[in-house]
């Protein structure tokens, strides 16, 4: 799932920037979590690689070899970094050139966009950051991360560096969906009849065909293990003997794979909002559904304390009533943003758009008042979906000028490059929907749709293997951050990572946020920044509440 700065801040800003536009009608829609348009994409953090052929509870089959070890021992020997030049105001940008296929270092290359904010102080070296996703742009992330006041000592001692991983942003971004297609109404993501299933299958086939035509072999070459090699190449060409790294959400998966490959090349590593690689995709998706249901319940329980919440005495029932209404009809939702060059968005709110809008708002309590406004509009007398559609669009990458970032295409492709399992049908195993809805009344059926995902995707060349306790050793102490009620990456994965990485320490933030380092908690910021600068970890088990 995306994390943390752009999605958090942009969602919080929607309520300020919106103005009403004209209205128009639209039909129902399909989008499942962070995997829009096609149920052929992954719904999980990553899937396990096993020997032999197996069938999972999600209606998928896989025949995956043991995890291969493709690539050179020293990636920086096959990489080069171009000259730095000014970009994005106070930043500098350069191009990292690496093998397109790490299994063929003499073959074609791929160019990756890199950004840095050089320190005016005495640098320890580079601190490389990844925002997660997968699919999120590191260039865009660093622009937001470095704005405002940073934790004391961070930018004085490090050049802050990020990059657009292969297949994302300005690094040959996977782009299978046109801007016009992003404007299409979402299908119903929780199919109730054959017509719903047929609609999902048609759109899934269209998406698979378009991706194969537009991207070819790139679909198989954007997996996390290739990105971990890119990261080591970047470390080397920056001149750092050892890596200093902060990874958020999916960025922790990159970090864990780096530790698996190069544990002796780490100086300091922070994994915030852990997504452990190799987890069974069905199990992982259900755990994420539990996290979102728990956070939604916290949002609804807090309704009486927020004057902006107008869902009444039984807010969850009111929300489920809205879902039922939007299953049968859409409501007007056209809008325009009050920013220069903004283009009118003519659309409507259906049930698919509603799910995405709510999911986008649960990453941070800062977004709860914006969601209140959207639900008030949708359930009020005028029945408008303006704010909710804007939240959905922002989450999926719509820009004020009407273009789309398409990081959702990148996200789904990277997931499937990491995951061995493939759904037998685009809609996945529909039996899961009824089963999960019993435990998760709001999110169960939605998370079950399409699971385990990746229908029609090419075979994963390097599927991510599971990690057991103690599997990663030989690295200096790694700091793992877990938030107790993180909706997107359950706290249990942070405790799992603590056991997987020998000598690691766990920092716990008590809250509802997705990721915690940088501007959420002074307690977390102080402890983690001191570790990054001094390479001395905080006490294992530190708990932060502020």
The domain total for the chain is 1
β-bridge pairing 60-63 and 422-423:
antiparallel
Q: Pick the catalytic residue from 40, 394, 504, 514.
A: 514
List, for residues 482-537, the tens digit of each pLDDT value.
Answer: 999 999 999 999 999 999 999 999 999 999 999 999 989 999 999 999 999 999 99
Rounded Cα–Cα distance for residues 275 and 277 (Å): 6
Q: Is residue 31 part of a domain?
A: yes
CA 509 to chain centre: 20
Q: Pick the catalytic residue from 38, 249, 275, 449.
A: 249
Mean pLDDT of the chain: 87
Q: What percent of the chain is predicted at pLDDT more than 90?
A: 82
Q: Which residue has tokens 């501007």?
A: 519
- Bridge partners, 126 (sequence order): 159
Q: Is residue 113 part of a domain?
A: no
Assess whether pLDDT exceeds 70 at residue 248.
Answer: yes
Assess whether pLDDT exceeds 50 at residue 1.
Answer: no
Rounded Cα–Cα distance for residues 104 and 221 (Å): 11
**What pLDDT does residue 6 have?**
29
List, for residues 185-222, the tens digit of each pLDDT value.
Answer: 999 989 989 999 999 999 999 999 999 999 999 999 99
Q: Is residue 357 part of a domain?
A: yes
Confidence of residue 253 (pLDDT cuts 50, 70, 90): very high
List, for residues 277-289, the tens digit of each pLDDT value.
Answer: 999 999 999 999 9
* Other beta carbons within 10 Å of 541: 10
List, for residues 16-41, the tens digit of each pLDDT value.
Answer: 233 333 222 222 222 222 322 322 32
Q: Is residue 92 part of a domain?
A: no
> CB pairs under 8 A, 24+ apart, for 83-92?
84/116, 87/115, 88/115, 88/139, 88/143, 89/143, 90/117, 90/146, 91/115, 91/116, 91/117, 91/142, 91/143, 91/146, 92/116, 92/117, 92/118
Rounded Cα–Cα distance for residues 408 and 7 (Å): 13
Q: Pick the catalytic residue from 28, 393, 407, 486.
A: 486
Residue 281 backbone class (left: φ over 0; alpha: ψ -120 to 50; beta: rest): alpha
**What pLDDT does residue 314 have?**
94
**What pLDDT does residue 504 have?**
98
pTM here? 0.85
Q: What percent of the chain is predicted at pLDDT more than 70?
A: 87
**What pLDDT does residue 51 have?**
25
**What pLDDT does residue 121 have?**
85
List, for residues 383-437, the tens digit of each pLDDT value.
Answer: 999 999 999 999 998 999 999 987 889 999 999 999 999 999 999 989 999 999 9
List, for residues 128-172, the tens digit of each pLDDT value.
Answer: 999 999 999 999 999 999 988 899 889 999 999 999 999 999 999
**What pLDDT does residue 14 have?**
33
> 269 by DSSP, 3-state: which?
strand
Per residue, the 3-state secondary structure of 423-486, as one string, reads: ECCCCCCCHHHHHHHHHCCCCHHHHHCCCCCCCCCCCCCCCCCCCCCCCECCCCCCEEEEECCC
List, for residues 515-524, the tens digit of each pLDDT value.
Answer: 999 989 999 9
Q: Which residue has tokens 């992003």?
A: 182
Q: Is residue 152 part of a domain?
A: no
Residue pair 115/91 in contact (Cβ under 8 Å)? The answer is yes
Residue 331 backbone class (left: φ over 0; alpha: ψ -120 to 50; beta: rest): beta
Q: How many CA atoms lie within 13 A of 353 on its CB side?
A: 34
- Bridge partners, 117 (sequence order): 160
> 63 by DSSP, 3-state: which?
strand
> 95 by DSSP, 3-state: which?
strand
Q: Is residue 72 part of a domain?
A: no
What is the longest distance spanned by two Cα atoms in the chain? Answer: 66
How large is the C-alpha radius of gyration of the chain? 22
Q: What are the structure tokens assigned to 510, written together?
A: 């008590």
Q: Is residue 383 part of a domain?
A: yes
Q: Is 78 labeled as catalytic in the residue annotation? A: no
**Of 416, 410, 399, 406, which is closest to residue 165 (Cα–Cα)?**
410
**What pLDDT does residue 72 have?**
93
**What pLDDT does residue 122 have?**
87
**What pLDDT does residue 496 have?**
97
Rounded Cα–Cα distance for residues 80 and 74 (Å): 13
Q: Is residue 498 part of a domain?
A: no
Report the residue count for the chain.
546
Rounded Cα–Cα distance for residues 487 and 373 (Å): 21
Q: What residues make up the domain containing 430?
A: 5-48+188-213+280-448
**What pLDDT does residue 3 have?**
36
């Amino acid at each position: 799932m995306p994390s943390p700065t752009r999605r958090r801040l942009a969602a919080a800003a929607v309520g300020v920037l919106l103005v009403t536009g004209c209205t128009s009608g639209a039909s129902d829609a399909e989008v499942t979590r962070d995997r829009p348009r096609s149920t052929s994409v992954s719904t999980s953090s990553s899937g396990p690689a096993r020997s032999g052929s197996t069938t999972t509870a999600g209606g998928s089959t896989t025949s995956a070899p043991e995890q291969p070890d493709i690539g050179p021992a020293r990636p920086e020997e096959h990489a080069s970094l171009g000259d730095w030049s000014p970009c994005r105001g106070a930043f500098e940008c350069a191009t990292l050139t690496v093998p397109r296929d790490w299994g063929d270092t003499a073959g074609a290359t791929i160019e990756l966009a890199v950004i840095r904010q050089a320190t005016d102080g005495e640098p320890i070296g580079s601190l490389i950051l990844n925002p997660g996703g997968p699919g999120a742009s590191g260039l865009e992330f660093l622009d937001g991360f470095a704005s405002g006041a940073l934790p004391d000592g961070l930018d004085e001692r490090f050049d802050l560096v990020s990059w657009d991983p292969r297949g994302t942003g300005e690094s040959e971004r996977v782009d299978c969906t046109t801007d016009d297609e992003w404007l299409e109404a979402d299908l119903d993501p929780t199919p109730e009849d054959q017509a719903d299933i047929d609609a999902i299958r048609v759109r899934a086939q269209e998406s698979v065909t378009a991706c194969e035509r537009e991207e070819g072999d790139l679909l198989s070459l954007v997996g996390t293990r290739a990105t971990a090699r890119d990261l080591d190449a970047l470390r080397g060409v920056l001149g750092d003997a050892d890596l200093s790294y902060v990874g958020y959400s999916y960025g922790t998966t990159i970090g864990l794979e780096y530790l698996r490959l190069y544990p002796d090349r780490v100086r300091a590593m922070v994994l915030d909002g852990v997504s452990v690689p190799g987890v069974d995709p069905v199990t992982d998706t259900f755990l994420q559904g539990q996290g979102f249901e728990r956070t939604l319940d916290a949002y609804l329980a807090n309704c009486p304390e927020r004057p902006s919440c107008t869902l009444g005495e039984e807010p969850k029932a009111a929300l489920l009533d809205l879902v039922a209404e939007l299953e049968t009809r859409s409501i007007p939702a056209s809008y325009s943003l009050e920013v220069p060059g903004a283009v009118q968005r003519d659309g409507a709110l259906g049930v698919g758009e509603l799910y995405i809008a709510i999911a986008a708002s649960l990453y941070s309590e800062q977004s709860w008042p914006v969601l209140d406004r959207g639900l008030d509009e949708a359930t009020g007398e005028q029945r408008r979906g303006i704010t909710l559609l804007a939240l959905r669009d922002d989450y999926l990458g719509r820009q004020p000028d009407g273009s789309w970032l398409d990081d959702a295409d990148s996200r789904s492709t990277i997931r499937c490059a990491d995951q061995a399992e493939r759904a037998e049908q685009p809609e996945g195993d529909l039996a899961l929907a009824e089963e999960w809805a019993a435990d998760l009344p709001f999110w169960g059926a939605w998370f079950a749709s399409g699971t385990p995902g990746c229908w029609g995707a090419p075979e994963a060349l390097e599927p991510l293997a599971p990690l057991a306790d103690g599997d990663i050793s030989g690295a200096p102490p790694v700091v793992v951050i877990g938030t107790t009620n993180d909706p997107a990456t359950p706290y249990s994965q942070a405790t799992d990572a603590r056991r997987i990485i020998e000598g690691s320490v766990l920092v716990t933030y008590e809250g509802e946020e997705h990721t915690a380092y940088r501007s959420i908690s002074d307690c977390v910021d102080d402890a983690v920044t001191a570790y990054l600068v001094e390479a001395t970890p905080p006490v294992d088990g530190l708990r932060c509440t502020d």
